[in-house]
Amino acid sequence: MPSIPVRPIRQAPQRLRIRRNINLLTPDQLAKFRAAWKASYALNDNRGYAHFAGLHGLPLPTECSHNDTFWLPWHRAYLYFFEMSLRDIDPTVTLPWWSWASGKLPVAYRTTANSNPLHHAAIPANAQVPGGPSQTDRMGPRPGSLPTQAQITSVLKRGDFLDFSARLRQLHNSVHGQIGGSMGLIENSAFDPIFWAHHSYVDRAWRLWQLEHPSTGLPQSVLNQALAPFPMTVQQTLSVTGLGYDYARSTLSLPFSAQGGAS
Amino acid sequence: MSFVHRYVSDGRLRLTDAGIDEDLAQPEGESDLARADLVFYGVAHSRGSYEGRVFFNNPDAEAQTPQDYEHGYAGSYWVFGHENCDGDPGHCDPDWGAAEDVVDFRRPHHLLPETALVDVTDALRNIAGLADGITVTVVAVRTPGYGDEDRPPLRFDHLRLLTYG
């Protein structure tokens, strides 16, 4: 009987990239993330940080959507394209998420040591608000002011998408307000590096809700809508694995060892 | 920095059979109040971010009022707003009354008003003397930042109390 030929693998299968809890990154993961972030600051064209941060508010046009139907799909697309730009710099990097229930900003974003690029970012002159600063700042949050796990769990139990979306948006709004400063303004919030970890958590919450409510979702009438300025429709945002990523608390990769498997 | 703008209802929100919101009366055979939402419709977000603190039966509430049941605190909603208009004249004037046009494929105006809701279930259970209705006081406390204190942020179209059995 002839043997079945083994076809050579022409391309390694694409692995899901994983977004992790910022507080559980390994030192190496955090160092690479910071390096990619810093490199993004240095790009002044449409691959760089200022370009993506500016899409949210200033400079005009303001592209973000904050109504209950579109804000989750739009921000999923937003994070996707920014994350891809970071991965052009370092393909091992993903956007981490920050749990509000931790009660405070992550150390990775608070520390000023080593010119931490996650502490603040420059705001270009054409994106500054009248009387506002030329770099991001924060004025909070006060202890005990961030959403609790009980509040988040309560929102995740909502059975209707628009109800879930509206309540999650309220918690999201409160985080913007409690941090204040640049995060308190739609015009400048995306320039603050914590914005992306904050919205990664929002996106994770939507992912968790989708897993619990697989048969419900957005109104059919909006699925084919484009999410400008991104070449993506609402429908395309409905599956994070379809976009090539998923969420986990942490990851740790170990090399194979001929002496006993993974070491 | 704390800028406060207040809204006080005239007590028309009622929970009794005699009140104007008869549908809020508990239907026969149904269980007690399971959930109550205070929903703000037509919330403007063109004037900066703020926390809308909701107090029941405390028309004198202000920014310094403790946020507890004793002082009528029922919950908060948050508006993530646009502090300034960054365009030319007219850029930030949404057509609030426009009818939907099925052949208008432009995106909705970015300043179309929003809906905000506050879960007031626990606060409602703690209220006594519903026969006189509920006075709703909203105290808007601006997010610390670079706001123009001469532009009160608190604006909405109407509010509604929704109860679920």
3-state SS assignment for residue A153: helix
Give the mean pLDDT of A82-88. 97
Nearest CA distance, A259 vs chain B (angstrom): 56
3-state SS assignment for residue A50: helix
Decide which of B114 and A155 is more confident: A155
**Which pLDDT belongs to residue B53?**
94
Q: CB of A131 within 8 Å of any CB in chain B? A: yes
Nearest CA distance, A201 vs chain B (angstrom): 17
Nearest CA distance, B75 vs chain A (angstrom): 12
Q: How confident is the model at residue B51 (pLDDT cuts 50, 70, 90)?
A: very high
pLDDT at position B22 over 50: no
Closest partner CB to B145 (pick from A64, A174, A184): A184
Q: What DSSP assignment string belongs to B140-163?
A: EEEPSSS--TTS-----SEEEEEE
CA angle A200-A87-A204, nearest 5°?
15
Q: CB of B40 within 8 Å of any CB in chain A? A: no
Percentage of chain B exceeding pLDDT 90: 21
Percentage of chain A exceeding pLDDT 90: 77
Q: CB of B114 within 8 Å of any CB in chain A? A: yes
Q: What is the pLDDT of residues B123-136, one digit of tens each?
A: 888 875 555 678 88
Domains of chain B, start order = 4-25+32-84+109-152 (2.60.310)
Q: Residue B28: what are its φ and ψ, rounded to 5°?
A: -60, 135
Q: CB of B80 within 8 Å of any CB in chain A? A: yes
Question: Which chain A residue lies closest to B145 (C-alpha atoms)?
Answer: A181
Nearest CA distance, A48 vs chain B (angstrom): 23
Q: Which residues contact A50 (CB under 8 A, 6 or more apart)?
A: A41, A44, A122, A124, A127, A191
Q: State whether B145 and A139 contact (CB < 8 Å).
A: yes
> Best of B146, B148, B151, B160 to disrupt the A interface by mutation (most A CBs within 10 Å)?
B146
Q: State whether A58 and B81 contact (CB < 8 Å).
A: no
In chain A, what are the domain boundaries? 25-216
Instruction: Copy the structure tokens of residue B127.
Output: 């209220």
| Residues of A whose CB is below 8 A from B143 | 176-177, 180, 184
Q: Which residues contact A247 (CB under 8 A, 6 or more apart)?
A: A18, A19, A20, A97, A204, A207, A208, A240
Q: State whether B78 and A170 contact (CB < 8 Å).
A: yes
CATH topology of domain A25-216: di-copper center containing domain from catechol oxidase (1.10.1280)
pTM: 0.84
pLDDT at position B30 over 60: no
Q: What is the pLDDT of residues A26-51, one digit of tens each?
A: 999 999 999 999 999 999 999 999 99
Decide which of A178 and B144 is more confident: A178
Q: How confident is the model at residue A221 (pLDDT cuts 50, 70, 90)?
A: confident
pLDDT at position B10 over 70: no
